[in-house]
């Protein structure tokens, strides 16, 4: 995207219309920054998030529970995990008791990759705002929906 800092103020008739564009612009910006940090590791922000969820789980968990924690719809969760499977960073096994369910587990290779990534650095790009400001932001975003 372009440079909103330069362009956004002169362009919008009111704060709400600006907000509409600003939310989307910021979401893309955060994504771009995150993906740049993860580029050396050849995974995306969302793929990184899934790996962290799986490491935290400490055991195989269902596709559905990952989807819920990521607040994503099923097709997207499946697609992201397809990519992690191709890279052999996770393993899928079908549940024997209920054959609709697929369990997912982080692989040794996945754990090794995570160990290389500095979480502090990854989260740095939200340090421009305080915890209070983040709370205000969350309240307003929640109110929009």
Partner DNA sequence: TGGTAGTAATTACCTAGGTAAATATAAATA
Partner DNA sequence: TATTTATATTTACCTAGGTAATTACTACCA
Instruction: Give Cα separations from 103 to 28, 47, 63, 96, 137 (angstroms).
Output: 31, 17, 6, 10, 35
Beta bridge partners of 93: 103
Interaction residues for DNA, span 44-63 (CB under 7 A): 44-47, 62-63
Site pattern 27..46 for a copy of itself (x: CB under 8 A): xxxxx---------------
CB nearer to DNA: give 58 or 98: 98
CA distance 113 to 122: 14
Pick between residue 44 and residue 130 the one whose CB is nearest to DNA.
Answer: 44
Distances (CA, A) of 77 to 37, 54, 56: 22, 13, 17
CB of 6 to a copy of itself, least distance (A): 9
Which residue from 125, 120, 121 is spatially nearest to 29, judged by alpha carbons?
125
91: β partners: 105
Site membership for a copy of itself, residue 1 (CB under 8 A): yes
Shortest separation between residue 109's beta carbon and a copy of itself, angstroms: 26
**Contact residues for DNA, defined by CB under 7 A:** 1, 24, 28, 31-32, 44-47, 62-64, 67, 70, 72-83, 92, 97-102
């Amino acid at each position: 995207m372009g440079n909103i800092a330069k362009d956004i103020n002169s362009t919008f008739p009111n704060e709400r219309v600006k907000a509409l564009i600003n939310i989307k612009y910021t979401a893309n910006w955060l994504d771009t920054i995150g993906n740049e940090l993860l580029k050396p590791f050849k995974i995306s922000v969302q793929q990184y998030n899934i790996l962290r969820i799986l490491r935290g789980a400490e055991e195989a968990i269902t596709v559905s529970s990952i989807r819920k924690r990521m607040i994503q719809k099923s097709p997207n969760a499946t697609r992201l995990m397809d990519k992690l499977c191709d890279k052999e960073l996770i393993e899928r096994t079908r549940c024997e008791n209920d054959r609709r369910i697929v369990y997912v587990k982080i692989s040794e290779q996945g754990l090794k990759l995570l160990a290389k990534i500095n979480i502090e650095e990854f989260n740095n790009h939200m340090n421009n705002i305080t915890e209070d400001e983040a709370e205000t932001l969350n309240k307003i975003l929640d109110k929009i929906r």
